[in-house]
Amino acid sequence: MAEDTLTTVGIGRHGAARLPSVDVDSFNIELKDDDGFLGDRASKGAFRKILDDLRKPLRKNGDDPLGGKSADKISKSELDAALTGEDVGAAALVHGAIEEFARELAYVTSKFLKTKAWADTERIVVGGGFRQSRVGEIAIARTDILLKADGFKVDLVPIRFDPDEAGLIGCLHLAPSWIFEAYDSILAVDIGGTNIRCGVVETRWKKAKDLSKASVWHSDLWRHANDEPTREGTVKRLVKMLKALIEEADAEGLKLAPFIGISCPGVINEDGSIAKGAQNLPGNWESSKFNLPASLIEGIPVIGDHDTAVLMHNDGVAQGLSEVPFMQDVDHWGVLTIGTGLGNARFTNRHKDKDEKRDDDKKKNKD
């Protein structure tokens, strides 16, 4: 059975605090106030609720410029069009929602910055589905202004890669360096409460050894929320998707590493089990009898001529890791992912020269 097999193959620890390029100072912090989890105040759903609340008095008079659909039925592209369109009433509504949401996001972000784990944070990248729109970009920029006005010396910036691909690309930074010397691509999995995305990520290591040129060669999306599968059915479908990608990569002539990186919601234990935070996934993923990395190794024991190695980390961490190449001018930085909830992680860069100096100092002290 999957739960009886080894979850790692001599390659690292799941949910590790020390990664090749960064130390993960914290992830998946759940801050609370009297009204519940603070992250709920800065989620995608929170923005939609703010917008609907602003529309209520207009609806009573039949003057809602956004029409009869509730906010959760209005697409991001429709909101972007309303923001820049000729109907000033519709634009004003969206602008109003952006302003209120930015104030909520600034408040929540300030609470993170006041925690010990987030002390001295110099930059925060914002990802998640909300960032994939002009509305989201303006909300992030407005939040940055509000934080600076409140005296916080931090920059808030949108994530560079497409949020749908950032989690896959971030999985590269879970892998050991020997993979990049011997192979040109890896398999990556990004698991969410609604979708599962699997992809082949090209390292492009020869063009940029910092992985700044990495890209998703091909990916497949399964909207599992529509199918309501069992946990076991989900794993079976996931294995099938990965095997199909292996065949496609082989046919294309890619040198696929015997490695699978997984981005998954929740607090990830060293053995690959999930301590908490996986309540939106199909079935009980927090069971002590379930281990996703072990299940994948059981389903895909080898890739090419070598045993399969699997590493899993929190989805917020993975999405943030895609920014590692672009964060080398700061020491401490974080990520917030605005989606169903508010994912979060804080990192400290492991600059090679500083790490080597620290090791030398330790050696001198011992001598």
Low-confidence ranges of the chain (pLDDT < 70): 1-11, 352-367
pLDDT value for 366? 47
HEC-encoded secondary structure of the chain: CHHHCCCCCCCCCCCCCECCCEEEEEECCCCEECCEEHHHHHCHHHHHHHHHHHHHHHHHCCCCCCCCCCHHHCCHHHHHHHHHCCCHHHHHHHHHHHHHHHHHHHHHHHHHHCCCCCCCCCEEEEECHHHCCHHHHHHHHHHHHHHHHCCCCCEEEECCCCHHHHHHHHHHHHCCCHHHHHCCEEEEEEECCCCEEEEEEECCCCCCCCCCCCEEEEEEEECHHHHCCCHHHHHHHHHHHHHHHHHHHHHHCCCEEEEEEEEECCEECCCCCEEECCCCCCCCCCCCCCCHHHHHHHHCCEECCEECEEEEEEHHHHHHHCCHHHCCCCCEEEEEEECCCEEEEEEEECCHHHHHHHHHHHHHHHC
**What pLDDT, in 10s, does the model give residues 224-251?**
989 999 999 999 999 999 999 999 999 9
pTM over 0.85: yes
Give the tens place of pLDDT for each residue, 293-323: 999 999 999 999 999 999 999 999 999 999 9
Q: What is the pLDDT of residue 214?
A: 97
pLDDT reported for residue 35: 80
Set out the domains of the chain in order of their start, with CATH numbers.
2-18+162-322 (3.30.420.40), 38-154 (no CATH)
